[in-house]
Amino acid sequence: MPEDTNPIIEITSLTHRSGDRTALDNVSLGVERGSIVALLGPNGGGKTTLFKILTTLLTPTSGAASVGGCDVVLNQADVRRRIGIVFQYPSLDKTLSVAENLTCQGHLYGLRGSNLRQRIASSLDRFGLTDRARDRVATLSGGLQRRVELAKSLLHQPEVLILDEPSTGLDPGARATLMDQLTELRDQDSVTSLLTTHLMDEADRCDRVAVLDLGKLVANDTPDALKSRIGGDVLTIQTKSPGELAKRAEEKFGVKAVVIDGVVHIEREKGHEFVPDIIEAFPGEIDSVTVGRPTLDDVFLQLTGHALGDESQEGDKGESR
Amino acid sequence: MSSVPTQSWVMPAVALWQREVQRFLRQRSRVVGALATPVVFWVLVGSGFGRSFRGGDASEMNYLEYAYPGTIAMILLFTAIFSTISIIEDRREGFLQAVVAAPVHRSAIAFGKIMGSTTLAVFQAVLFLCLAPLAGVPISFFPVLAMVGACVIVAIGLSGLGVMIAWPMESTQGFHAIMNLFLLPMWLLSGALFPSSGASPWLGWVMALNPLTYGVSAIRGTLYYGQEGALAGGPSLVTALLVSIAFAFAMTVAATMIVGRKR
């Protein structure tokens, strides 16, 4: 098969309004075949709206999007056959067993007979669920249920996997396993994954990160390239009154200081040389200072002017369901 | 990539039907609940009203026996409605989101649901048939077979109605309000408890316009096929069957249209 270099997902000037709220504002984005892309942003940033448009559940106000060359509005059925969907909240029937859920899914996608049985057996094997096949989904842990969810979405062997906040309700271990599985799918079957997330560490493990804020695409790059946009180091300062210290540090040193989760962040060239200055400037007030390379948190802050978890910046978060 | 499956209509409908049956058999309380309520109702009301229920066209039979076909209609109604309520739960628990995002025609979703619910309703009605001898209802092969057929027709109509009501709903509370305000009166005024011949004129009109009246008559008429006066002044068997078939058809079409709408 010749290498197809066209983006497998193409989003062109996509806009979606509901009422007077603009959930997506002229977003254009291409996703390369065989990559894992994170759509990063706060709740209400437009991620879920984009997820719904790409999964054909919502018709955009204007603009276009296509998956594998099929338009999500004009060619709905073809798009649906090409994508596997993992929803934020489980879509499994908890009263049925793992195998029964997969069988039902297979039938919905027109699979049957020995072909379906084979696919179920191999996907159970791949996700380490073979010995749980007859167990009811309700008896499985959250992490295992997510694995069934993933197995279910892959049963019809889609080229593209679209995941909405896939780590919801998962502990860090299960979250890491999920990312490993997406990586394996990419490497072995060249499955493209597009996932929405509000978690930096998750975005950090993806090939590319597209940052959505207030309906606008504010960046689209590799995690490393995004981090290198911040030239210097980042100092994180633990203190009892972070708000006040940030303000005074800004006045005294002319730097930008921001409070994230009660910790003061200051971006600065040659951060280690700045450490003694800041400790001497506020004697007895600082509990600890750490100098580090910038994280995606810092990148997000620089791009949008507010922290990812900063609820007050989001305005009306009523993302249309 | 390998085989992209072709769109199928039958497989998804069968899958949803099968799931409905699997779920039902797994939730024993539902099997018991949908059957026990009408049985208790039938025994209490039947024994209680029995003494005051005299005269009219039904004078030949005791009240337990009179209320028997109506109880079957109640079982069909309860089972069909409770099984279609599960659409609301499916939406809330998330199962439905994967179904509506699958490459499945919406009419297959509606049809699978209606067939699943019909299967359960008729299954419960057949279980209840085992009690027929206790009510003094004569049981013989062909009338019972015809009655099961009538039950299928009535259950399709009620399931379609249930899907229509449940699909746009957000919560089960709303459904219960409709159950009490609309569905229970529909059953009460179907000839299940009293014949229209004894009712006041305006009530007689309501009963004549109530599709379930024809359902109950179809069940009664098939079960007592060939017996004079068994229909107790209700519509004739032919009318009852024709109206029930038309109702089933109309409800299936309406349910399909509602399910086809984008929410």
Report if residue B5 sits inside a domain.
no
Q: Are residues A217 and A235 in the same domain?
A: no
Give residue A4's pLDDT: 64
Name the pLDDT band for A131 (thresholds 50, 70, 90).
very high
**Backbone angles phi and psi of A228, in degrees to 5:** -75, -10
> Is the CB of A140 inside 8 Å of chain B's CB atoms?
no
CB contact under 8 A, B103 and A81: yes
pLDDT digits (tens, 9 = 90+) for B106-156: 999 999 999 999 999 999 999 888 878 877 787 888 889 999 999 999 999
Helix (H), strand (E), coil (C) string for B128-174: HHCCHHHHCCCCCHHHHHHHHHHHHHHHHHHHHHHHHHHCCCCCHHH
Q: Are residues A55 and A176 in the same domain?
A: yes
CB contact under 8 A, B19 and A93: yes
Which amino acid type is present at position A36? I
Task: For residues A296 and A204, give the distance between their C-alpha atoms in angstroms, rounded to a whole number.
Answer: 7
What is the four-CA torsion angle of B104, B106, B111, B113, rounded to 10 degrees? 90
Q: Are residues A163 and A274 in the same domain?
A: no
> What's the rounded mean pLDDT across residues B19-30?
87
Comparing A90 with B53, the larger pLDDT belongs to A90
Task: For residues A16 and A315, give the distance between their C-alpha atoms in angstroms, rounded to a whole number.
Answer: 17
> Is the CB of B5 inside 8 Å of chain A's CB atoms?
yes
pLDDT digits (tens, 9 = 90+) for A28-40: 999 999 999 999 9
Task: For residues B162 and B179, give the distance between their C-alpha atoms in angstroms, rounded to a whole number.
Answer: 10
Name the pLDDT band for A313 (thresholds 50, 70, 90).
very low
pLDDT digits (tens, 9 = 90+) for A172-214: 888 888 999 999 999 999 999 999 998 888 899 999 999 999 8
Report if residue B225 sits inside a domain.
yes
CATH, residue A247: 3.30.70.80
| Contact call for residues A217 and A63 (beta carbons, < 8 A) | no
Residues 6-65 of B with CB under 8 A from A: 6-8, 11-12, 14-16, 18-19, 22-23, 26-27
Q: Which of these three, A202, A224, A246, is where a domain ends?
A: A224
As to burial, measured by CB atoms within 10 angstroms (0-12 exposed, 13-18 middle, 19+ buried), residue B134 is exposed
Give residue A314's pLDDT: 38
Residues of chain B with C-beta less than 8 angstroms from the C-beta of A59 = 262
Q: Are residues A145 and A208 in the same domain?
A: yes
Question: Based on the structure, what is the number of domains in chain B?
Answer: 1
Report if residue A310 sits inside a domain.
no
Q: Are residues A149 and A281 in the same domain?
A: no
Q: Are residues A274 and A166 in the same domain?
A: no
Q: Are residues A205 and A68 in the same domain?
A: yes
- A114-132 burial, b if ≥16 CB within 10 A, otherwise e? eebeebbeebbebbebeeb
Residues of chain A with C-beta less than 8 angstroms from the C-beta of B106 = none
| Contact call for residues A196 and A161 (beta carbons, < 8 A) | no
Range(s) of the domain holding residue A238: 231-293
CB contact under 8 A, B15 and A107: yes
Among the listed residues B244, B4, B29, B34, the one whose alpha carbon sits nearest the alpha carbon of residue B123: B34
Paired tokens of A1: 């098969």
Q: Are residues A147 and A282 in the same domain?
A: no
Give residue A315's pLDDT: 38
Task: For residues B102 and B97, give the distance between their C-alpha atoms in angstroms, rounded to a whole number.
Answer: 9
The conformation of residue A97, written as its DSSP 8-state character, comes to B
Q: Are residues A132 and A37 in the same domain?
A: yes
Report if residue B2 sits inside a domain.
no
Report if residue B167 sits inside a domain.
yes
Give residue A275's pLDDT: 87
Which amino acid type is present at position B127? L
CB atoms within 10 A of CB A172: 10
Q: Are residues A84 and A104 in the same domain?
A: yes
Q: Tell me the C-alpha to C-alpha distance, in Å, between residue A230 and each of A74, A237, A261, A291.
A: 42, 18, 20, 14
Question: Based on the structure, what is the number of domains in chain A?
Answer: 2
Among B61-65, B90-94, B117-121, B182-186, where is mean pLDDT lowest? Answer: B61-65
Task: Tell me the helix, strand and coil percentages in chain B, rounded to 5.
Answer: 75, 0, 25
> What's the rounded mean pLDDT across residues A269-284?
84
Among A15-19, B61-65, B82-86, B139-143, where is mean pLDDT lowest? Answer: B61-65
Share of chain A above pLDDT 90, in %: 54
Report if residue A311 sits inside a domain.
no
Task: For residues B44 and B57, give the distance between their C-alpha atoms in angstroms, rounded to a whole number.
Answer: 22
Report if residue B154 sits inside a domain.
yes
The conformation of residue A2, written as its DSSP 8-state character, comes to P
- Is the pLDDT at B72 greater than 70, yes or no? yes
Give CB contacts under 8 A, 24+ apart, made by B131-137.
B131/B39, B132/B68, B135/B46, B135/B64, B135/B65, B135/B68, B136/B61, B136/B62, B136/B64, B136/B65, B137/B65, B137/B68, B137/B223
Report if residue A302 sits inside a domain.
no
pLDDT digits (tens, 9 = 90+) for A61-109: 999 999 999 999 999 999 999 999 999 988 999 999 999 999 999 999 9
pLDDT digits (tens, 9 = 90+) for A132-175: 999 999 999 988 999 999 999 999 999 999 999 998 888 888 88
CB contact under 8 A, A96 and B23: yes
Task: For residues A244 and A78, give the distance between their C-alpha atoms in angstroms, rounded to a whole number.
Answer: 56
Among A174-178, B6-10, B182-186, B198-202, where is mean pLDDT lowest? Answer: B6-10
Range(s) of the domain holding residue B37: 10-260
**Min distance B15 CA to chain A CA atoms (Å):** 5
Report if residue A2 sits inside a domain.
no
Which amino acid type is present at position A163? L
Q: What's chain A's average pLDDT?
A: 88
Report if residue A37 sits inside a domain.
yes
Best probe of the A interface among B6, B10, B21, B22, by most A CBs < 10 A, is B22
Which amino acid type is present at position B48? G
Identify the closest residue of chain B to A192 by CA–CA distance. B1
Between B1, B22, B100, which is nearest A96 by CB? B22
Name the pLDDT band for B255 (thresholds 50, 70, 90).
very high
Report if residue A186 sits inside a domain.
yes
The conformation of residue A313, written as its DSSP 8-state character, comes to G
Report if residue B196 sits inside a domain.
yes
Comparing B168 with B234, the larger pLDDT belongs to B168
Residues of chain A with C-beta less than 8 angstroms from the C-beta of B262 = 59
CATH, residue A137: 3.40.50.300
Q: Are residues A176 and A276 in the same domain?
A: no
- Is the pLDDT at B6 greater than 60, yes or no? no
Q: Are residues A24 and A167 in the same domain?
A: yes
Task: For residues B221 and B223, give the distance between their C-alpha atoms in angstroms, rounded to a whole number.
Answer: 6
Name the pLDDT band for B52 (thresholds 50, 70, 90).
low
Report if residue A196 sits inside a domain.
yes
Report if residue A147 sits inside a domain.
yes
DSSP-derived pairing of the beta strands A83-86 and A286-292: unpaired
